[in-house]
Chain A
């Protein structure tokens, strides 16, 4: 019983951290622009495939390849932002939904064409693939570090948002875009920056996820709902909200599937509906969506 509980929480936490790393950027960009972006998972997927390619054909190690993939995807996402997203900032949410579904379809097809439909794997270096034993229990190093990384990242992002000038600008723009523009904040520029950062983090999360969730061309559509749920449940534009929502949903999803394999996916949607019915703006949302 205790063993089961520990493994549910441990695996759930590792899973939750992946969700957090990928979704946090989406939360901030949606909070800033209110853009309904179903294609955020595409950047995570591209990050994963770029990581695999860089390691196999570029001869890079896991960590350098991961970082390079995140930087490249962040730069690449700026093109997306300028040419595809920017024209639709003031469009209806239907248009935004359709555009991002279109992007998911194109990315899925392109990745199937390039890498084939079957899942690809990544070779994790030795120092990450071992196991640690603690109190008679075995914990995979990769997942332990993943959880630690998630907490550190959440702390860093939270400090950056609360304690830096850039963070203050972002918070101001999320709270009241017009007022922020009126006091001289260039919200468009701010948005480009956070969009690139968010996409880079998604790529990082996608790269980290290969070992835990696996990677196939359906990644973007398979997890699309989950990333959106994290944002909706946590509330748009808040790092604390995304972090706690990712923890909540990650552990519940993992626990549900562990305890009740046939109907496990039921729980997170139940939680989602319950949260949204009573708090339409999410748990920590600054405003109702």
Chain B
């Protein structure tokens, strides 16, 4: 590798001071808004879910309409292990959730990554709905339409009890998000991550220079599924309740919208998009659900027509004009 390229790559993955900001804000929220911690934990979980989609969509360029399949798989894995098997230790249950979703993602990826375009979109969509129907039919183990009850988890690390205001849950979710984010950041700047960008930009050429495109895609699909599974497991633990809508098309669509709103393919887009979407939804949907839904639709249309790159893309351009 040439010296200049080496320096460039090193420069790009260097930690910038501004990257501490989301985590400082995350901690600040804990002290400043103690009443919103339960909601905050939901936001953090959604950020983790959006990050897993970002790896798939933003980095590898795989468009999926069924990513909730893996979120749901993780949620049901952790939930059912707790409700039926008495697996109450939270951290190992998260590993179980990620592993289950990862296995499912690997199996699905083996098949799905051979397709692209409309066929892939329809296959991801249909797979997620199939999984949802499967959960609905097997109501004796999943709780079906009524939801899975009886989920309970032991205190975190054996010491920290969960309180009504969700402060333990909030810090727990923040810590899990931080760890997963660090792993993701390492991953996207690794040679593997760079080869994903290559596949996104031009899969044919990547094949031509000898990159195993299919296996790279299967690998990234598996990893993204596992991370989504961890987010789902966290969701099951924090809410102590899992319903069929964790697998629904609505969730797959919503996370896609949030990611695009923030800006895909840049890791921090997931933070911006999810926080913006969920906080606005919390405030506006209460005033008028129709107004909120119409607004989301309008913003999506405007982003596609005029504002590629979401909020972060917009910031980039504002900075570009200022220069």
Question: Chain A residues in contact with chain B, CB under 8 A?
Answer: 30, 34, 36, 84, 87-88, 91-95, 97-99, 101-110, 112-113, 225, 228-229, 232, 236, 262-263, 265-266, 269-270, 272-273, 276-277, 280-281, 288-289
Contact = CB atoms under 8 A, between A and B. Distances in A.
24 contacts: A34-B117, A36-B118, A97-B121, A102-B299, A102-B301, A103-B301, A104-B297, A109-B291, A112-B289, A112-B290, A113-B294, A225-B249, A228-B125, A262-B144, A266-B130, A266-B134, A269-B126, A270-B130, A272-B126, A273-B126, A276-B126, A277-B123, A280-B119, A288-B119
A31 to B, nearest CB: 11
B180 interface: no
A106 to B, nearest CB: 4
Interface stretch (B93-101, B171-179, B253-261, B272-280): B253-261
B305 A36 contact: no
Nearest to A102: B300
A250 B223 CA distance: 37
Contacts of A270: 130
A276 B305 contact: no
Interface string B242-255: 00000001000100
Contacts, number: 124
A265 B123 CA distance: 16
A280 B123 CA distance: 10
B57 A110 contact: no
B305 A106 contact: no
A84 B123 contact: no
Contacts of B304: 88, 91, 95, 98-99, 102
A289 B130 contact: no
Contacts of B253: 101
B315 interface: no
B137 interface: yes
Nearest to B145: A262
A94 B134 CA distance: 28
Interface in B114-149: 115, 117-119, 121-123, 125-127, 129-130, 133-134, 136-137, 139, 144
A92 B139 CA distance: 39
What size tier do the contact residues of chain B reach?
Answer: 35 or more
Contacts of B303: 98
A247 to B, nearest CB: 19
A26 to B, nearest CB: 11
Contact of A225 (B125, B134, B137): B125
Q: Which of A109, A232, A273 has the most CB of B within 10 A?
A: A109
A101 B121 contact: no
B121 A36 contact: yes
A228 B117 CA distance: 13
Contacts of B125: 225, 228
A97 B260 CA distance: 12
**From DSSP, what is the main secondary structure of chain A's interface residues?**
helix
B285 to A, nearest CB: 11
A86 B310 CA distance: 21
A276 B122 contact: yes
B111 interface: yes
Contacts of B126: 229, 269, 272-273, 276
Contacts of B289: 112
A276 B130 CA distance: 14
Nearest to A265: B133
Interface string B300-317: 110111000000000000
B297 A225 contact: no
Contacts of B139: 262
A103 B260 CA distance: 16
A225 B123 CA distance: 11
B298 interface: yes
A105 B305 contact: no
Contacts of A108: 293, 297
B300 A263 contact: no
A99 B305 contact: yes
A102 B298 contact: yes
B118 A236 contact: yes
Contacts of B156: none
A147 to B, nearest CB: 27
A30 B298 contact: no
A109 B298 CA distance: 11
B129 A225 contact: yes
A228 B301 contact: no
B119 A101 contact: no
A265 B293 CA distance: 27
Contacts of A288: 119
Contact of A105 (B115, B122, B300): B300
Nearest to A35: B118
Interface string B21-63: 0000000000000000000000000000000000001000001
